[in-house]
Chains A and B, each alone.
Chain A
Amino acid sequence: MSEAIPGGPGPARAGPLRSPQGLVAGLTLITLAALALWLTRDLDQGTLRSMGPALLPDWLAIGVGLCGLVLVGMSFTSDGHGLDRWSLRGPVLVILAIVAFAVTIRPFSLGAVSSPGLGLAVAGPLAIIIGGYATPEARLRDLLILAFLLTPFCMILFGDLLNLPIPIFPQKFAELFPATWSQKQILRLTAAFFAGGALLVFLLYPRHHNQSVDAADHSGRI
C-alpha cells in the first residue's frame, strides 16, 4: 500500500525543504481553513451554553489549519515524498465529459445561456466518447460501439425497467412519432436503433488488433 503514492521517499534534496509534498499539503490545509474562517466571519460564535452557527466550523477550521502548520513545519525537518507527477489530460477530459452530460441531460441555464434538454440519448454517448479520450489509448471505433451499446442498455434499464425519471430523448424527437405511441414504445424503438448503430460500426469500421490487456493498478487503496 505504500506504493499507493508513488514518488517514494525522496532522496535528501538540496536546500532546506525535505518534503515538497508535505509543504504543499500543509499549505492547502491552511488555505482551506482560512477560507472557512473567512466564510463564517459574519456568523455568531455564541457561547457553549447556546452555541452559535459559527462555533463548530470555526474551531474545526482552526484544527485543520493547525494540522496544516505542523505539516509545513515537518516538511523542513523530516524527509518525505516528492511531488507527484500531475497529469492534465485525464482530469480535464473526465470533467469535460461529466459537464457535457450535466448540461445536455435536461435544459440547463447559466445566466443568459441555456442548453436544450437532449436527454440520455445524447448525454450518454457524449459522456462516453469525451470521457473515453481521457486516456491516450482511446480508439474511436471501440468508444462508438461502447456508446451505442451502453446507452440503449441504460435507457431500457433505468427508463423502462426501473422507471427512474430520467429524460431519455428530446421532446421534439418524441413529437415525430404518431400520438398513439407511448413514451415506452418510442424508448424501446430508440434503444433498438442505437443497438443497430453499434452493429453498424462494428461491421463497417476497420479494426486494429491489440492483444495486451491493461488494467488499473489499484494497490489496495479504498
Chain B
Amino acid sequence: MGDFFSNLSLGFGVALSLQNLGLAFLGCLVGTLVGVLPGVGPIATIAMLLPITFGLDPVGALIMLAGIYYGAQYGGSTTAILVNIPGEATSVVTALDGHQMARQGRAGVALGIAAIGSFIAGTFATLVIAALGKPLTGLALLFGPTEYFSLMVMGLVFAVVLAHGSILKAVAMILLGILLSTVGTDLETGEERMTFGLPFLADGIDFAVLAMGIFGIAEIMRNLDHTEHRDVVRQAIGRLLPSKEDFRQAAAPIARGTVIGAILGILPGNGAVLGPFAAYTVEKKLAKDPSRFGRGAIEGVAGPESANNAGAQTSFIPLLTLGIPPNAVMALMVGAMTIHGIVPGPQVMTKNPDLFWGMIASMWVGNLMLLIINLPLVGVWVRLLKVPYRLMFPAILMFCCIGIYSINSLPTDVMFIAFFGLVGYALIKLGFEPAPLLLGFVLGKLMEENFRRALIISRGEIMTFVDHPVSAGLLVVALIVLVLALLPTIRKGRDEVFVED
C-alpha cells in the first residue's frame, strides 16, 4: 500500500509540473476541438495531431497525447448529444438519450452529467490502473514468448468477436493485417518479403501511414458519399449543472457504468467499445420504466458515458503493462512511444518510472481539465458544430499531409496515405471494417517475433503452446469465446447490441 501512494505521489509530482500541466491542458483542449467536429473520431484526431507532439520530451508528449485522446472522446459525446452524430462507436449510445434530452431543452444537463460521470469514472479508473499496474507488470515479466503469443491470439479473437458485422470478414481483416505487417525485410534472415523491390518498403509499411490512410483519408472519401443535412439543436442549451433530482437518478448508473467500463476496458481486443453498450443495456434492464429510454432518460447518458471514459482509461493497462495495444487508439500510442524511443512493455515501469506514473497521474489531471474546459466552453463547441463538412475536410486533408510528411520527410509517405486511403475506402464499400486490420497489423510483428522465439526454445515443437499451462489457458479462453460468438443464439444478441442505433 505504501508503494501505491509513493508511486502515485511520484506520478503527481511529474504530472503537476507547470509544463506538463500546460501540455495536458493543451492536449485536452485541442483534442476536444478536433473531436467535436462531426465525422472526426479519436483515431483520426490522434493521427492528425501526432506531429505536434514531436518536439516535446517523451513524458510531455505522451501526457499531451493522452489528453488529446480524452478530449477527442469527450468531444465525440458533445457532438452525439447536440447533433445526434456519434463521432465513434462508443458514443453511439450516448446519442440515443442524450440527443432526446437536448431536444427537450436539457442539452446542458446532458452535457453536464456526461462530464461529471466521466470525471468520476476517470478518477476510479486512474486508481484501478495505479493499483493493477505493478502486479500486472510483475505477471508480464513471468510471461515467455509462448504465453505472449497466446495472449495476443486471445486479444485478436476478442477483437473479432467485438467487431460488428460479419465474424468471417473480421477474421479476414485480422489475417490481412498480420500479413501486411510481414511486408519488409525479414528480421531473422534479412530477406525482403513482398516489397516489389521498392526501397521504401524494405523497412515495412509505416504504421502511421497505414493508420492515417485507412482511417483519416478513407473516412473523408466515405463521408463525401454520405453528407447530409442535419440541424444542430436549436433549443437553448439550458442550465449546465444537473439538479439534485438529476444527481439522485444518475448516481447509481454512474457507479455501475464505471465498474462495467473499467472491467471491459482491460480486455485485450477493444473491450472498451463494449462498455457503453453493456452499461446502457444494464440500465435499461434495471429501470422501473424501461420505456423512458430513448426518450431522454438521464440514466441512459450517465451510465454509458461513465463506462466509456472508464474503459478508455483502463484500456491503457494492457499497453502499459504488457506492451500489447488492445485497440486502434492504443496502437497509435505505441507508434507515438516508438517515435520517442520508448518500447512499450513491462520494462517501461522499471526503466522510466516517471513516465509510467506521470502518465497515470496525468490521466486524472486530464479528466479534471475536461470538466473545467468543457462546461464553460459549450458555446464554442456549438459554433464549431456549424462548420460545414465541405470546409472541414480540405483542412483535415492538409493536416494529414503535413502530419505524415513531418514524420519522415518523405513525399512517398504522403502518396502512400492516398493509396491506403483508397484501399480503406474499397474495404468499407465491401463491408470490411478497417479497425481489426490495424490491430492485426500492430500485433503482427510482435506475434511473429514471439512465435519464432517460442518455436526456437521448444526446438520446433508446435505443441509448446498447449504444453505451457498459462498459454493453454489463454488459448482455451480464446476458443470458448470464439465458439460462443458463433453460436446462433449469442450471435443474435450480439447483433442486437450493435444495431441499437
Contacts and interface: CB of A to CB of B under 8 A. Distances in A.
Given A40-B194, A51-B452, A157 B52 contact: yes
A28 B173 CA distance: 12
Name, among A3, A91, A95, the residue most crowded by chain B CB atoms within 10 Å (CB to CB).
Answer: A91
B347 interface: no
A128 B395 contact: yes
Contacts of A162: 51-52, 54-55
Given A124-B398, A219-B86, A132 B231 contact: no
Interface stretch (A138-146, A186-194, A198-206): A138-146
B230 A39 contact: no
Contacts of A218: 38-39, 41, 85-88, 219, 223
Contact of A48 (B43, B421, B455): B455
B487 interface: no
B207 interface: no
A131 interface: yes
Interface stretch (A10-18, A100-108, A174-182): A100-108
Interface in A1-42: 1-3, 5-6, 21-22, 24-25, 28-29, 32, 36, 39-40
A139 B426 CA distance: 28
A165 interface: yes
A220 B411 CA distance: 33
B398 A108 contact: no
Contacts of B468: none
A74 B83 CA distance: 38
Interface in A97-145: 97-99, 101-103, 105-106, 108, 120, 123-124, 127-129, 131-132, 134-135, 137-139, 142-143
Contacts of A146: 391, 394-395
B499 A1 contact: yes
B191 A43 contact: yes
Nearest to A5: B431
B178 interface: yes
Contact of A98 (B172, B224, B417): B417
Interface stretch (B10-18, B131-139, B337-345, B402-410): B402-410
Interface in B421-477: 421-422, 425-426, 428-433, 435, 448, 451-452, 455-456, 459-462
A29 B168 CA distance: 12
A44 B203 CA distance: 20
B421 A217 contact: no
Contacts of A68: 172
B390 A102 contact: no
A148 B52 CA distance: 21
Interface range on chain A: under 10, 10 to 19, 20 to 34, or 35 or more? 35 or more
Contacts, number: 285
B83 A215 contact: yes
B373 interface: no
Nearest to A96: B418
A18 B116 CA distance: 49
B221 A91 contact: yes
A173 interface: no
Name, among A50, A94, A134, the residue most crowded by chain B CB atoms within 10 Å (CB to CB).
Answer: A94
Interface stretch (B107-115, B182-190, B253-261, B283-291): B182-190
A40 B193 contact: yes
A106 B411 CA distance: 8
Contact of B38 (A25, A54, A154, A215): A215
Contacts of B189: 44, 52-53
Interface string B58-76: 0000000000000000000
B158 to A, nearest CB: 15
B295 interface: no
Nearest to A51: B452
Given A51-B452, A216-B39, A217-B228, A1 B498 contact: yes
A120 B411 CA distance: 12
Contacts of A154: 398-399, 402
Contacts of A28: 426, 430
A163 interface: yes
B127 interface: no
A208 interface: no
B226 to A, nearest CB: 4
Given A40-B194, A214-B389, A128 B398 contact: yes
A221 B89 CA distance: 5
A135 B231 CA distance: 20
B315 interface: no
Contact of A102 (B38, B43, B178, B411): B411
A96 to B, nearest CB: 9
Interface in B171-217: 171-172, 175-176, 178-179, 182, 186, 188-189, 191, 193-194, 196, 217
A150 B405 contact: no
A81 interface: yes
B193 A2 contact: no
5 contacts: A3-B501, A90-B220, A124-B402, A154-B398, A214-B389
Name the 5 nearest CB pairs between A and B, nearest first: A49-B460, A216-B39, A90-B224, A220-B92, A67-B172
Given A105-B411, A135-B224, 7 more contacts: A5-B428, A5-B429, A51-B451, A83-B429, A215-B385, A216-B389, A218-B223
